[in-house]
Amino acid sequence: MVRLRAKEGFDPMFAFLSAPDSSDRGAPEVRIAEPKPADLIRTTELGSGISVEIDLADPERWHSVTVQRWEQADLDLLELLIGPDAVRRLGELRSSARSSLGAEVSLDVVPTGPWQRIAVIDALDWWLQLPLEQALLDAERAVAQVRAAASLRPGPLRQQLTEQALVLARGSAAGFAGYLTELADSASSLPRALFSGLSRLAAGYAILGREVVDGPDNDLDLVAAAWSRLQAAVRVVPTFKPQDHSVSYRLSGEPSAGGAVVSSSVDPRQVRARIVDTDVLTKEVRMMRSDEGSAIRVMVPAFGPSLPAAVISDRLMVRLVDSRSGTAYEPVLLTLRSGRAAESLGATMPVFTELVPLRGAPLEDLRADVFEADNEAAPARTDTDSGLLRQRRAQFVLGEWRRAAAEARLSRGVKVRNRRLARLVDVLSQTTADADQPVFLGGPSPAEIVRLIDTADSPAANAIHLWFASSQGAGEPLVAELAAVYAGR
């Protein structure tokens, strides 16, 4: 293990090196990691065997950087991520016995702009349980990716990333252009923050258009035309007052627990955000005994009235977990029902549902674990599992904080934000026993949120906890987040 000396103000990171001829061929040859555990992390594959993790509580630095095979890695990219000196020294240490002696390596932690933004967007796409326009999120991901590619020297990786960005941009072009057209038809003015964000995305699409060498691109041109129309149709205003409505965190119509109905909690580690509905104070997954008693019907509410993409909804599964033994039974593919099919099951919104064999286990001893087909994480045994409860709090706080940050950006003030945060503290008081303890790994405590509400000065607020700077810089609100607040969602 090698200790990496970070710049002043940052904690050190550690590099774990394995020899190129290691018997464990599945292990990465280099992994640089932050020693502190965190709950809101997500891995992003960048190419040539290099992947990064970002912690949404501290997005101004990498949580980890992994190199699967050093000789196959694009060192130009690696230098952008950790600095040329660290790359040179790690290369030397890989072939030196001194790598086991705790040598120090200087780590360049200067923010890497679009590369961090790519990782932040990927992490928010997984964790952020807010009603976002997916086309806007994917458009921003494409723009960040082409700008990141431009920082590389010409070569295969730069070409690969640019082509991936074009695929993303084309795939989201219809939704992005449709959103711009809808605004042009319905809005007389737009707040400056949202207009600037949309302008940045449109400019990114123009950059992508210049990468097309075989003539005009109909998808990208669609966005350019819609953007021109919006510019001519609306005026830009400095601020916007978001709707300040009270939020209920309990699902309406939740069935009471009883002999025929048992509920389980969704684990946000197992299924990405905005697919199924979640609520920090309730259990969302319903298990109802069928008429014959040998099976149960599992029902999970979909996220809002808009149906998720088939590529995701067709991969959602459920497995029953015996809370006594920890045994996870054979998983079953869930089916998305909407309209009359959902109403016939007593649901007013789209639901994921299926009959699942009981296999002789008592219903009251089972937990229904909902997960995506390619997710290999082990299921929690019970709904009282500390990691599960902490992760649900983390996702909930993330959503409220990101919404509050977007409201503050649009209104250019903190009053609406502080009212939302005050309600957040009230909810957290029902789920956490100690106001001075962090709500999740990497997050603030309720007491620190209260201190933020009472602090008017921004630098002083950031000094209370790293979390309060997490929506700045690489973590600034997505255009999709600003759009959701503007739409009053």
Per-residue pLDDT tens digits for 11-52: 667 777 775 555 456 678 888 888 889 999 999 999 999 999
Backbone phi, then psi, for 284, in 5-degree steps?
A: -95, -30
Collapse the DSSP code of 201 into the 3-class scheme (helix H, G, I; strand E, B; otherwise coil) and give the result: helix
Q: From CA 87, how far away is CA 106, in angstroms rounded?
A: 10
Given a contact cutoff of 8 angstroms between Cβ atoms, the answer to whether 308 and 274 are in contact is: yes
Is it the case that residue 3 has pLDDT exceeding 70?
no
Long-range contacts, 338-345 (Cβ 8 Å, 24+): 338/302, 338/307, 345/297, 345/299
Going from the C-alpha of 222 to that of each of 144, 165, 212, the distances in angstroms are 20, 17, 15
Other C-beta atoms within 10 Å of 339: how many? Answer: 8
Instruction: Please give the residue that has the higher pLDDT: either 279 or 196.
Output: 196
The candidate with the shortest Cα–Cα distance to 480, out of 310, 273, 338, is 273
Which two tokens mark 190?
């737009």
Measured distance CA(107)–CA(430) in Å, rounded: 42
CA dist., res. 153 & res. 151, Å (int):
7
Closest by Cα among 345, 350, 250, 275 to 305: 350
- CB proximity list for 411: less than 8 A, separation 6 or greater: 239, 240, 241, 242
What is the mean pLDDT of the segment spanning 411-417?
Answer: 88
Q: What is the pLDDT of residue 19?
A: 59
User: pLDDT value at position 360?
Assistant: 80
Quick one: pLDDT at residue 5?
A: 58
Q: How far is CA 339 from CA 210, 327, 349, in A?
A: 44, 35, 8
Residue carrying the six token digits 């106001």: 435
| pLDDT at residue 290 in the model | 80
DSSP state of 447: H
Place of tokens 């109909």: 218
User: Could you read off the pLDDT of 340-399 as tens digits, one per residue?
Assistant: 999 999 888 899 999 999 888 888 899 999 999 988 889 999 999 999 999 999 999 999
**53: β partners:** 43, 64
Using pLDDT thresholds of 50, 70 and 90, give the confidence band for residue 252.
very low
Q: pLDDT at position 31, please? A: 87
Tell me, what's the pLDDT at 257? Answer: 38
- Return the percentage of the chain with pLDDT > 70, whole number: 86
pLDDT in tens, 161-181: 999 999 999 999 999 999 999
H or E element: which one contains 275?
none
pLDDT at 310 over 70: no
Residue 427 · residue 439 · CB < 8 Å? no
The answer to whether 317 and 333 are in contact (CB under 8 A) is yes
Establish how many alpha carbons lie within 13 A of residue 99's alpha carbon, considering only the half-sphere containing its beta carbon.
18
- Give Cα 406 to chain centroid, integer Å: 16
DSSP per-residue string spanning 116-180: HHHHHHHHHHHH--S---HHHHHHHHHHHHHHHHHTSPSSHHHHHHHHHHHHHHHHHHHHHHHHH
pLDDT at 383: 92
Tokens of 422: 């005050």
pLDDT given for residue 90 in this prediction:
85
On the CB side of 256, CA atoms within 13 Å amount to: 1
Residue 58 sits at φ, ψ, to 5 deg, of -150, 70
Per DSSP, what are the bridge partners of residue 250?
Answer: none
Amino acid at position 402, single letter: R
Amino acid at 289: R
pLDDT score for 227: 98
